[in-house]
Amino acid sequence: MEEGSSLAASCPGRSNGGGEGSTGIIDLRPPGSSPAVDLTDRVHLLPCSIKHDGPCPVSHYFKPKQTDVVVDDLCLKEACFRGRKLQGVTVSLPPGYRGYVLDKSSESGKRSEASEGGFNRWLSRAEFGNLTFWNHDSLPSPDDPLIRCFHWFSVSNALHKPVTQAELDSAMSVQGRND
Amino acid sequence: MSSAPLPKWASKPCIMGIDEAGRGPVLGPMVYGCLYCSLSYQKTLTTLNFAEPIWVLPVKLLKFDVTKINLNEISHNSAIGLVKRVLDMGVLLTEVYVDTVGDAEKYRVKLSEKFPGVKFVVAKKADSLYPVVSGASIVAKVTRDRALRNWVLDETAENMQRNFGSGYPGDPETKAWLDRHKHMVFGFPTIVRFSWGTCKPYFKDFVEVVWESDKMDEDCPNNGRSKHQQKLSDLGFTGYKRKSEDIESSGKGRCKFFQARKLQLVSKF
């Protein structure tokens, strides 16, 4: 999830969470002149891992139903998967952010195999403006990790926003006064 | 039904029977039926002449998510709900006869505590012992059959059919229906009770699904589940390789802010 239409991403291994890292380009423009495929209202995050990767008749089998219950201003939905009842809410992505479904472009595949941790090229296949996340045991709440992930956006902004000369000056003057 | 005026005999002492239908079948609702009549009508009831002064009031339980709730508990709560509804309608219940699969005495004490003014008789095979329970049993079975016949499947995939048969595991029609309606990702349509033993042979045809909540369950294995119910995770629905990183990101090794949000830095694709 990022702003803008195209960006270069680099994940060098300086964080304690990652390994050696890799460098790549993510192209968020839809291919050709066609409009982007919009998956808004069709992206679901389930509380399980399904060991299958490929197309699936989701809308024929997975049937979320609205309930009368409201959780933190969001309408609670119910659905079933593999005999289990799920409870979920649809959350919009914060303004200025969009979700993208990325696909590794084939041409970069060979190149990155040749040099491990090498150059990757990613293409956007679809976009979405919201997503529905589902819990199995508990009602969705603002304490769920997915909702709390959105906190990162403001922290990230504060960390990475360029510092203006005015801000520098005022910070210096505060420091000066403290000395 | 509650809007209809109560018959006069309802204000004289009444007896009621409660029975269930659909505990065994692999698909469809479990139905609780009850039948009540005036105490003086009890003798006539044995002739099975189902004339006017019998009122029936079925209740349905449609969906199954038996990973968490004990089947006997569902059964008890449904019976309690029926007794409450009939009392609230203004029927003077003095005796209630209930069929049970589990411990009869514990169940009787539980019901008696809830409704101190009512005498409860709880027995195994009560449907063959007390005519009023036989009647309730018929109500439940007929209601279940009708519900199954008119069932509207949630799923809208092509070639979905409703010829489930009886839903009992031995029924060839039911078996054939299960076979035709399995899906490698979704399993069965939601009418099916996934945790029933009958489904087990089909799991090998499904892709593996690993649930976050099963991982947590392993720390507290017995949360009131009865012996006859199986955990979905016991039935090959979850994997032998239970690596948490397969299921979700953890933010492991990062600062608390990221761990709490399960934000992990992905550096290799």
Residues of chain A found within 8 Å of residue B256, distances taken between Cβ atoms: none
Residue located via tokens 């990757």: A120
Residue A98: give the domain boundaries.
6-50+58-160
Return the biggest CA–CA distance within chain A: 68
Question: What integer pLDDT is reported at residue A78 of this predicted model?
Answer: 93
Please count the structural domains in chain A.
Answer: 1
Q: Domain limits of chain B?
A: 8-149, 172-247
- Mean pLDDT, chain B, integer: 80
Helix, strand, coil percentages, rounded to 5, for chain A: 25, 35, 40
Could you tell me if residue A91 is inside a domain? yes
Cβ–Cβ under 8 Å, residues B94 and B13: yes
Could you tell me if residue A141 is inside a domain? yes
Hey, which residues does B93 pair with through a beta bridge?
A: B14
Q: What is the pLDDT of residues A110-167, one digit of tens each?
A: 544 444 455 678 888 899 999 999 998 789 998 898 889 889 988 988 898 888 888 8
Shortest distance between the Cα of B216 and any Cα of chain A, in A, equals 11
Of A20, A61, A81, the CB nearest to B155: A61
Model confidence at B114, pLDDT cuts 50, 70, 90, reads very high
Cβ–Cβ under 8 Å, residues B189 and B155: yes
HSE, side-chain direction, 13 A CA sphere, residue A167: 5
Shortest distance between the Cα of B251 and any Cα of chain A, in A, equals 7
Q: How far is A143 from A9, CA to CA, in rounded Å?
A: 30
Residues of chain B found within 8 Å of residue A62, distances taken between Cβ atoms: 186
Indicate the range of A66-75, B9-18, B144-153, B210-219 predicted with least confidence. B210-219
Mean pLDDT of B189-208: 89
Per-residue pLDDT at B131 exceeds 80: yes
Residues of chain A found within 8 Å of residue B154, distances taken between Cβ atoms: 63, 80
Model confidence at B216, pLDDT cuts 50, 70, 90, reads low
Assigned token pair, B25: 């079948």
Question: What integer pLDDT is reported at residue B219 of this predicted model?
Answer: 52
Q: How far is A5 from A55, CA to CA, in rounded Å?
A: 26
Taking CB atoms and an 8 Å cut-off, how many pairs form between chains A and B?
Answer: 126
The residues, any chain, with a CB within 8 Å of residue B156's CB and separated by 6 or more, are A59, A60, A63
Instruction: Please indicate whether, in this complex, the C-beta atoms of A18 and B261 are within 8 angstroms of each other.
Output: no
Indicate the range of A167-171, B85-89, B213-217, B258-262 predicted with least confidence. B213-217
Of A18, A52, A137, the CB nearest to B265: A18
Could you tell me if residue A176 is inside a domain? no
Of A85, A145, A155, the CB nearest to B63: A85
Q: Which residues of A touch B (CB under 8 A)?
A: 11, 13, 15-22, 24, 47-52, 56-57, 59-63, 80-85, 104, 117, 120, 122, 136-137, 145, 148-149, 151-152, 155
- Mean pLDDT, chain A, integer: 80
Q: Which residue of A has its CA nearest to B268?
A: A21
CA-closest candidate to residue A44, choices A106, A139, A141, A135? A135
Write the CATH number for A25: 2.40.128.680
What class, spelled out in words, does domain B8-149 have in CATH?
A: alpha beta
Q: What is the pLDDT of residues B137-187, one digit of tens each?
A: 988 888 888 888 888 999 998 889 989 998 988 899 999 999 999 999 999
Could you tell me if residue A166 is inside a domain? no
Of B65, B186, B261, the CB nearest to A85: B65
Could you tell me if residue A71 is inside a domain? yes
Give how far the C-alpha of residue B4 lies from the chain's centroid of Cα atoms, to the nearest Å: 28
Instruction: Please indicate whether, in this complex, the C-beta atoms of A11 and B265 are within 8 angstroms of each other.
Output: yes
Residues of chain A found within 8 Å of residue B186, distances taken between Cβ atoms: 56, 61-62, 81-82
Q: How far is B44 from B50, CA to CA, in rounded Å?
A: 9
What are the distances in angstroms from CA B92 to CA A138, B85, B87, B115, B118? Answer: 40, 12, 7, 12, 9
User: What would the DSSP string read from start to end of B26-74?
Assistant: SBS-EEEEEEEEEGGGHHHHTTT---TT-EE--EEE----TTTS-HHHH
Model confidence at B45, pLDDT cuts 50, 70, 90, reads confident
Question: What integer pLDDT is reported at residue A178 of this predicted model?
Answer: 65
Cβ–Cβ under 8 Å, residues B107 and B98: yes
Instruction: Please indicate whether, in this complex, the C-beta atoms of B156 and A60 are within 8 angstroms of each other.
Output: yes
